[in-house]
Amino acid sequence: MKIGRFAKNRMSLGHSVALLLPVLLAACGGGDAKTGDGDANHHRGPLTAIFSCDSGGAELPASACIVGHQSKAGVGGSLKISDGGEVQNFSESEILDRLAAPRSDITLHQPFTILAQAGGDDNMVLRLQILESGQVVFQDEASRYGVIRIDSDNLSNKPVAGAEPPKTQAQMIKELNEAVDEMKRVNGR
Of 164, 113, 115, 103, nearest in space to 142 by CA: 115
Strands (DSSP E) found in 56-102: 58-60, 78-83, 86-89
Torsion, CA 12, CA 16, CA 17, CA 21, rounded to 10: 160
Does the predicted TM-score (pTM) go above 0.85? no
Integer Cα distance of 107 and 79 in angstroms: 15
Q: What are the pLDDT tens digits along the chain (189 aa)?
A: 444 444 444 444 343 334 333 433 333 334 333 333 344 445 556 799 999 999 988 999 999 999 976 545 556 889 999 988 899 999 999 999 999 998 999 999 889 999 999 998 888 999 999 998 888 999 999 999 999 999 988 887 666 666 666 666 666 677 777 888 888 888 887
